[in-house]
Structure 1
Amino acid sequence: MNKPNNTFDLIEVEKVKGISKQEFIEKYYKKKKPVLIEGLTDSWNDKWRFDYIKEIAGEQIVPLYTSEPTKGKKNSLDPVAKMKMSEYIDLLRTQPTDLRIFFYMVKDNLPQLLKDFEFPDIGLPYFKRIPALFFGGQGAKVFMHYDIDLGDNLHIHFEGRKRVLLFGPDQNTNLYKVPFSICNLESIDMSNPDFEKYPALKNAKGLVANMNHGDALYIPGEWWHFITYVDGSFSMSLRSLPQDPRRFAGMLYNVFFMRHVDFWIRKIKGQKWIDYKDKWAYNRTHKKLGINKRA
């Protein structure tokens, strides 16, 4: 049976439960293979609910972001709005919203939570400085990207449901990777791809993970992910910095060179630089794949 014209070639990510440290290291960590682990946080995740976050952080003023592409010289780290955490959680519970909290550092903002979880003992060499929280409303989307530090990510989800599309680094060209960036063309709607305008997407092969409360998704470094909040919910990211020399060098390049070059050219050129990179990505992809279609 042929798949619909506007859907990716996806298979369900492998699910496991009761996995040992040795099994995780041998089957997934060493092979850089995503896996959805059920039951990994059962000993502590019952406390991780909106009510508890509201109780300990309800008065905090939190920065909010949307999925709208950042235009011109605007800094992508500038929030579009701010509100009390309690008001934001009420919003998540009562209606769809595109407003999200992005990379909210637990140690800096909610240190109480450090007592309310355990780093899962599965063999990941965690960087314990940066457990971070992510919140989103029903229907909110996180643009397609891979993490700039190229680190492995254990993404643990709470409250509602979340859908994650995953693509390996071997899919960079098919996804229209943008130069000097960790994302693909933001004009691509990953939830409803236009294969006529972006024909390389038809070649992209990936995985899909449907997450529920307490599920932990292992996302290896360099893997692309596109996230949709099916319900208002939140997640915690536990990270491990790159261990092999190639990826560690890539992290240094991304963090200390590429990011700053892109920032300063954008600060000078504004939207012209964004448009130039997008055209570059579009034409480069088609040239590599022999597709006779140019921007």
Structure 2
Amino acid sequence: MKNVPQFTSVTPDIFLNEIKASGKPAIMKGLVSQWPSVALDEDALLDHLALTASSLPIPHFVCDPVHHGRFFYDEGYTSFNYRQELTPAAEFFARLRREAANPEPAALFAGSLALDGYFPGFAQSHHLDGFIPASQFLRSMWIGNRTMTAPHYDNVENIACVVAGRRKFTLFPIEQLPNLYMGPLDLTPAGQPISLVDIRAPDYERFPRYREAEAHGLVAMLEPGDAIYIPTLWWHGVESLDGVNVMVNTWWRDVPAYLGSPMSALLSGLLTLRDLPEAQRAAWKVVFDTLVFETNGPAFDHLPDAARGVAGRLTRNRAAQLRELILQTLS
């Protein structure tokens, strides 16, 4: 695998006009090294997080040592190899501290904790001013010890900033989807489908096409203060390498909030298109290529805008009309 390109002294202009414009992952070395928490040692950081935590209990996953930090399915892919717990913040951090000293620790993982809700005091002093080109975004914290998050994709743009501990990211472009052996769509560890390949020790006999994915994969090693940009739909697995790991990420979309999620279209396609007779599938592919992906150019330019109805460029009103039509067709 090749290394993810690395940039230093990144400004908002460099991020928006060079890094993000490339549509490829990039390491932004030392981007948040000035954040107050980055300079703290493990004990001081855990104390700081406990002090800045709200009264909300911390939801987190616990995985037994036998699984070596890999949060995954059971053998039949009908359940998971971990359990979910909910504890006060002080108790969670105390256990994380104990497990850090354990030679065979249980894996602890608290993920996607909304920063403003769970750590409002931390949120006030840790920012990415100017880097997020959207008015609506979500900032989350990820806390744990030595864990392995399976490769998955997000439907949004992502900047992930390492506060404590080293992290290894393994990334694949969406073109490698057929070679990543996706798991179930409707039973997932955290909302997104994951690859069934253990990328730390791939079973090439069971997953032979993964070799092709590896040939096109990228690797990024991040230290505290570093950040990584992960574009929409880039698959990424994340390995936390130290006894205490803390990361803050920001998700956003580059489109108005009234646009629906493409996942809705995917699920609808599974319901309505995939199992049609082959000739009908081919015909509908022409329809989608013409009207949705517009492979031959804008499909309705021959009509004045007022006559295009829901097929015109989306506005808030047209989006609402489309939702009504979709609900009618589903019923």
Q: TM-score, normalised by structure 1?
A: 0.71
CA contact (8 A) 1:45 1:214 kept: no
Q: Which amino acid aligns with 1:52?
A: H
Task: Select the residue among 233, 241, 246 that pairs with 1:234.
Answer: 246
CA displacement at 1:13 relative to structure 2: 1.1
Q: Which residue of 2 aligns with 1:105?
A: 114
SS in 2 for 1:221: coil
Q: Which residue of 2 aligns with 1:19?
A: 10
Kindly provide the CA deviation profile for residues 32-83 of structure 1, in whole angstroms up to 9, marking residues without a partner as x: 1111112222332436732210222286521111413277776x8x962222
CA displacement at 1:152 relative to structure 2: 0.7
CA displacement at 1:163 relative to structure 2: 1.0
Q: Which amino acid aligns with 2:235?
A: W
CA contact (8 A) 2:54 2:117 kept: no
CA displacement at 1:229 relative to structure 2: 1.0
Q: Which residue of 1 aligns with 2:231?
A: 220
CA contact (8 A) 1:22 1:123 kept: no
Q: Which residue of 2 aligns with 1:282?
A: none
Q: How does 1:129-144 map to 2 (within 5 A)?
A: 130-138=138-146, 140-144=147-151
Q: Which residue of 2 aligns with 1:191?
A: 200
Distance across 1 between alignment mates of 2:106 and 2:220: 22
Q: Which residue of 1 aligns with 2:48?
A: 52
Structure 1: segments with no counterpart, 5+ residues:
1-9, 263-295
Q: TM-score, normalised by structure 2?
A: 0.64
Kindly provide the CA deviation profile for residues 247-276 of structure 1, in whole angstroms up to 9, marking residues without a partner as x: x96x613158739x99xxxxxxxxxxxxxx
Distance across 2 between alignment mates of 1:24 and 1:14: 13
Kindly provide the CA deviation profile for residues 120-174 of structure 1, in whole angstroms up to 9, marking residues without a partner as x: 423533633x211111212x11122101xx1110001112111111111111111
RMSD: 3.1
CA displacement at 1:180 relative to structure 2: 3.8
Q: When the two structures are aligned, how many residues end up with a matched partner?
A: 242
SS in 2 for 1:217: strand
Task: Select the residue among 124, 131, 136 that pairs with 1:127.
Answer: 136
CA displacement at 1:107 relative to structure 2: 1.9
SS in 1 for 2:126: coil
CA contact (8 A) 2:57 2:88 kept: yes
Q: How does 1:1-295 map to 2 (within 5 A)?
A: 10-46=1-37, 49-57=45-53, 60-65=56-61, 66=63, 67-69=71-73, 80-93=84-97, 94=100, 95=102, 96-122=105-131, 124-125=133-134, 127-128=136-137, 130-138=138-146, 140-147=147-154, 150-178=155-183, 180=185, 182-186=192-196, 188-204=197-213, 205-231=216-242, 232-243=244-255, 252-254=261-263, 258=267
Structure 2: segments with no counterpart, 5+ residues:
64-70, 187-191, 272-331
Distance across 2 between alignment mates of 1:79 and 1:110: 24
Runs of 4+ off more than 6 Å: 70-74
Q: Which residue of 2 aligns with 1:277?
A: none
Higher relative contact order (CA 8 A, sep 6+): 1
CA contact (8 A) 1:178 1:184 kept: yes
Larger radius of gyration: 2
Distance across 1 between alignment mates of 2:222 and 2:83: 27
CA contact (8 A) 1:221 1:242 kept: no
